Amino acid sequence: MKRKEESAAATLAIPTTRDPSIHLDKPIYTLSVASEILATHPRTLMMYEHLNMIKPKRTATNRRRYSQRDLMKLQA
């Protein structure tokens, strides 16, 4: 089961910044997608927000949206 999770995380890698069509600050990732990409629990991302490590944007319905820059900060 662990191998399946690792391969899923590898296929969901953050796109490289070499693509000019990708805007680093565009909030496109939901909490669940961001947590899958980073291979972490969604509550961990909420804790990072609470600790002011990242500041995800909010939708009109108050849902979190993470940018590529947010994810890059957490991968470093």
Mean pLDDT, contiguous 10-residue spans, the chain (76 residues): 51 60 89 98 98 97 97 91
CATH class of 2-12+27-75: mainly alpha
| pLDDT on residue 28 | 95
User: What pTM did the predictor assign?
Assistant: 0.72
Residue 76: its pLDDT value, please? Answer: 75
Using H for helix, E for strand and C for coil, what is the string for the chain?
A: CHHHHHHHHHHCCCCCCCCCCCCCCCCCECHHHHHHHHCCCHHHHHHHHHCCCCCCEECCCCCEEECHHHHHHHHC
